[in-house]
Structure 1
């Protein structure tokens, strides 16, 4: 019987900034293979890719082993869910139609008798005002249409350029965990959930708040950390195969 659930976030596949784990995408494939047959759920809580944009007849060939591993995990009976992040928010129908992986902006699941709420976490902190404004520009339909007119190779190159510069700016940003915890505590009350699972800030931890528990897996870029849920309890683990 599949009795474990696993949550990861922030792999940012497609780039290798200083300090990132070499070959971490292959490690993620091995992780998925290692939980096949014993996982009831795998939830990827945003920013699986450094950038993702779907064209009608184009899928990035650099991730074929990952796609195959996700499909095999679904075929084993595991529910695989993929949340939008601030880097990979433009999912279309490739994952649900071709791989059986469900995509979401936010997600609420019943797991092991617990109600669990998932959200990547971008824009929830009050100090992320500038990002919320920038996201509106990215989500504007005309801008989406114009980007789609670019050749995919040019679009990927442009996205990587913007991503590198935004990462440099983000490195000096101070993470105010109290803002994330306050928001998550409000969401626990609103949704009636016991757990709120976030990503985005790359800080791993489990925090008890007034209305439940907030947790983050950290990242799969520099640490290869993940959350495991068994018998309704959460642990933070590090993948080392």
Structure 2
């Protein structure tokens, strides 16, 4: 059986409530069960959780099914790579220590079967979005994390959930409509990267829209969509990359 590389992003488990997101968690676990049959590797490109913060001895309650499934797949020998998103950017080393899953806080380059990939969540990249970029610097500053850690988890999680739903500046979410290539910041980011280095595929999340855009004759931008309304994912079969929809 030919092995494939799978990509998924923006599950936002826990939003708008744990009860409401539970069917989506079940569906995502079913997807993991499906792709593990022929996966060479699995990439999770951020916002798996609508909020995640690691205290020294505490992590947010819930998500046991998806965490257990990730542990099972990783223990079977299939590599899993996790990129933090703007909703789980306070992830530290829990995945690395408990699940043996490396965690990346910025874009990374990979090469598979002779094809080069630039992979990341996608938040704060490209021109514009200056308000969010400023807020991200504040949120990721060591002092900010130190101060937040002193909040009791019950208060800290409740506050973060409120801000996630109510404040679009903090969430970093733009209008989920296609804005045209000239106004899609990630497309502009990819085109600028191509001026100095070639990549066959740019794979990002964050925009919540499944998109496949040809940048030039050899390079393609892929946005993975989400697991809220689209349930889309990327798959590289060793030759080409495509977007698929998971039907349960």
Shift of 1:120: 1.1
CA contact (8 A) 1:188 1:195 kept: no
Shift of 1:171: 6.3
Confirm or deny that 1:240 pairs with 2:247: yes
Residue number in structure 2 paired with 1:116: 117
1:213–1:33 distance in 2 versus 1, CA, 3 Å: same
Residue number in structure 2 paired with 1:91: 91
3-state DSSP of counterpart to 1:62: coil
Shift of 1:174: 6.6
3-state DSSP of counterpart to 2:63: helix
Q: Following the alignment from structure 1 to structure 2, what is the Cα–Cα distance between the partners of residues 192 and 77?
A: 31
RMSD of aligned residue pairs (Cα, Å): 2.2
3-state DSSP of counterpart to 2:207: coil
3-state DSSP of counterpart to 1:150: coil
1:215–1:172 distance in 2 versus 1, CA, 3 Å: closer
Q: Following the alignment from structure 1 to structure 2, what is the Cα–Cα distance between the partners of residues 68 and 2?
A: 26
Shift of 1:172: 5.0
1:207–1:132 distance in 2 versus 1, CA, 3 Å: same
CA contact (8 A) 1:4 1:41 kept: yes
Unaligned runs of 5+ in 1: none
Give the 5 Å matches for 1:166-205: 166-167=167-168, 170=173, 176=179, 177-178=181-182, 179-205=185-211
With the length of structure 1 as denominator, give the TM-score of the two structures: 0.91
Deviation digits for residues 121-177 of structure 1 (CA, Å, limit 9, x no counterpart): 111132201101111111222211110001111111000111111249956577644
Residue number in structure 2 paired with 1:165: 166
Confirm or deny that 1:146 pairs with 2:152: no
How many aligned residue pairs are there? 239
Q: Following the alignment from structure 1 to structure 2, what is the Cα–Cα distance between the partners of residues 61 and 137?
A: 25
CA contact (8 A) 2:120 2:204 kept: yes
Q: Following the alignment from structure 1 to structure 2, what is the Cα–Cα distance between the partners of residues 190 and 80?
A: 29
